[in-house]
Amino acid sequence: MNFKLFIFFSSVLSLFSASSLNAQDSLKLLNGKVLDVSIQKVEKHFIYFVETYKGKATFRKRQISTIFSYREQYKSEVILYEHNPEVGNFYQLDEMKDYMLGERHAETYYKTPVINFISIASGATAGYFLAQGDLAFVAFPLIFSSVLIIPGAKVKQNPYNEDYMRNNAYFAGYKRVAKSKKFFNSLKFSGIAMLASFGIVKLTEK
């Protein structure tokens, strides 16, 4: 290999590793998540960055349309979000901040212990009937989870959100994430319980 080329690639690798291990930048996504990253390049349609997870650095890119803002170390926050109903950005800037706060609160605080219990019990019952040869129960977890989210999710007043209980944008963001968690938790627990019940019944039949 050409010596100069070797030096070039070695330098790039060193910079990549150093920036990855010292991520001081951040991305605020429209889904409410905040990523600690090392931003490498900002273009018109994409942001390129290094994200470190469990000590492993990965080079990634994200569309600008999925990002609310970004902040580079020692610099001010740069807002990328623009109110534009034509592309689905229905909220004004302040409303979008509240919407994203609702998403983050739901991601952090919304729990589904009762749903989990009901899903386990229902999945176990479905697994029993499936083991008896009733193939109609094969799709039970998906159908059950879909029906379970029809009522949506309630936003309960807590110390962290008592100032937002009349905020429609906050409610919308919270309910979006809560409904998603409700569905996937139900799907997961009912599916696992159904398979476990099916296996146990089949084993005890022998």
- The pLDDT of residue 23 is 57
Token code pair at residue 134? 């009733």
The per-residue pLDDT for range 124-168, each reduced to its tens digit, is 999 999 999 999 899 999 999 999 899 888 899 999 999 999 999
Tens-digit pLDDT profile for the chain (206 aa)? 554 544 444 444 444 454 444 558 999 999 999 999 999 999 999 999 999 888 889 999 999 999 999 999 999 999 999 999 988 899 999 999 999 999 999 999 999 999 999 999 999 999 999 999 999 899 999 999 999 899 888 899 999 999 999 999 999 999 999 999 999 999 999 999 999 999 999 898 76
Instruction: Tell me 92's DSSP state.
Output: -
Q: For residue 37, is it within any domain?
A: yes
Whether the full predicted model's pTM is greater than 0.75, yes or no, is yes
What sign does the dihedral 180-184-190-194 (CA atoms) show?
positive
Instruction: Tell me 31's DSSP state.
Output: T
- 164 and 193 share one domain: yes
Q: Which of 125, 115, 119, 145 is nearest to 197 (CA)?
A: 125
Q: For residue 86, is it within any domain?
A: no
- 50 and 124 share one domain: no
Q: For residue 87, is it within any domain?
A: no
Q: Which of 120, 111, 112 is nearest to 190 (CA)?
A: 120
Q: What's the full length of the chain, in residues?
A: 206
- 172 and 139 share one domain: yes
CATH at residue 12: 2.30.30
Q: Rounded distance, CA 131 to CA 119, Å?
A: 18
- 72 and 100 share one domain: no
Which domain range does residue 77 map to?
A: 3-81
Helices and strands (H, E) in the chain, number of each type:
5, 6
Phi-psi region of 152 (alpha: psi -120 to 50; beta: other; left: phi over 0): left
Q: Which of 119, 120, 132 is nearest to 198 (CA)?
A: 132
Count the Cβ atoms, other than its own, within 10 Å of residue 196: 14
Q: For residue 88, is it within any domain?
A: no
- 97 and 196 share one domain: yes
DSSP string, 92-107: -HHHHHHHHHHHHHHH
- 77 and 101 share one domain: no
Provide the domain count of the chain.
2
Last residue of a domain, one of 54, 81, 108: 81
Q: Rounded distance, CA 34 to CA 26, Å?
A: 7
First to last CA, the chain: 65
40 SS3 class: strand
- The pLDDT of residue 152 is 84
